[in-house]
Amino acid sequence: METIIKKAEILIEALPYIQKLFGKTVVIKYGGNAMINENLKNSVIEDITLLKYIGMNPVVVHGGGPDITDALNKFNIESKFVEGLRVTDKKTMETAQMVLIGKTNKEIVSLLNQKGGKAIGLSGIDGKLIECEKHKTSVNGEKIDLGYVGKVTKINSKLIEFIAQDEYIPVVAPIGVGKNGESYNINADTVASEIAAALKAEKLMLLTDVEGVKTSDGKIIPALTINEAYSLIEENVINGGMIPKVLGCIEALEKGVNRTHIIDGRIPHCLLLEIFTNKGIGTMIMKEKVLYHKNEKL
């Protein structure tokens, strides 16, 4: 009986969040181990399906780096990276587009449909959903040509809104389109952030292979304001690969997203644990620490 009562208590804890988020948009960047490990993949897909059934509007943006690398290896095409971005010549771009749109995207759509969701696969090419230009970068003052790597210039969100606000779950592959119709590969974190901003989403959830933002002594920081995040970057507490994720969250917040989250996709049912529990499991970044309800722990 005690076990059953505890289950009821968990549902009651989730109630204020369900009420607050009913009808709201939640953009989920799906990547890392959660896309590779079958058990984790299953739990994330279940979480997303549940979000839709209890009245939220989840929008999924997925990565697919390992799938692209596997395909390039099969075609004997060498993978090169500069500052974490894949150098993308024409053959690499064709392979990335084939994999992301034709394989990875459709697998996620199929899994969501198997769980009872109604998912629709999209890419930035569809309806010019993601307009972009060539991404320019330099290393030590030297300009580097990354090839067909894109920088988002515009999100045409009407198509996603139409699908998400109906009974469907949009699943977006991070391929954008240039002004001359050329395809570009874009970082999935960036696409998720830009889509969340365009939709004025309630939440942006970044699934990663880290536990969240940590203090200098290794403790997870459950919540940060923008100013606190900048301070931690200056103090080198936030460093390395975490910096672009945090800056992406801040940019989304400044463009109208209410809450952003960096969570560990290696934890089963990570989305439910972060969204529907008072403490959460990762790091939430927000403009100001405003509670959803009095029992929420920030």
Feature table: binding site: 64-65, 86, 185
Q: What is the span of the domain harbouring residue 82?
A: 19-286
Residue 298 domain-assigned?
Answer: no
Token digits for 60? 């999924």
Contacts of 76 by beta carbon, 8 Å cutoff, 6+ apart: none
Domain count, the chain: 1
Q: pLDDT tens digit string along 92-124?
A: 999 999 999 999 999 999 999 999 999 999 999
Q: Considering the domain boundaries, does residue 84 fall inside one?
A: yes
CATH code, 215 = 3.40.1160.10
**How far is the C-alpha of 230 from the C-alpha of 26, rounded, in Å?**
24
Residue 14 falls inside a structural domain:
no
Residue 12 lies in a domain: no
Whole-prediction pTM: 0.93
In a domain, 296, yes or no: no
3-state helix, strand, coil split of the chain in percent (to 5) is 40, 25, 35
Give me the amino acid identity at 186.
I
Q: Give residue 287's pLDDT.
A: 94
Which residues are known binding-site members for substrate? 64-65, 86, 185
Burial class (CB in 10 A: 0-12, 13-18, 19+), 204: buried
Asked if residue 169 is part of any domain, the answer here is yes
- Is 63 within a domain? yes
Q: Which of residues 238 and 33 earns the better pLDDT score?
A: 238
Q: Is residue 170 part of a domain?
A: yes
Assess contact for 277 and 258: CB atoms under 8 A.
Answer: no
Residue 255 predicted with pLDDT over 90: yes
Q: β-strands 142-144, 137-139: how paired?
A: antiparallel
**Mean pLDDT rounded to a whole number for the chain:** 92
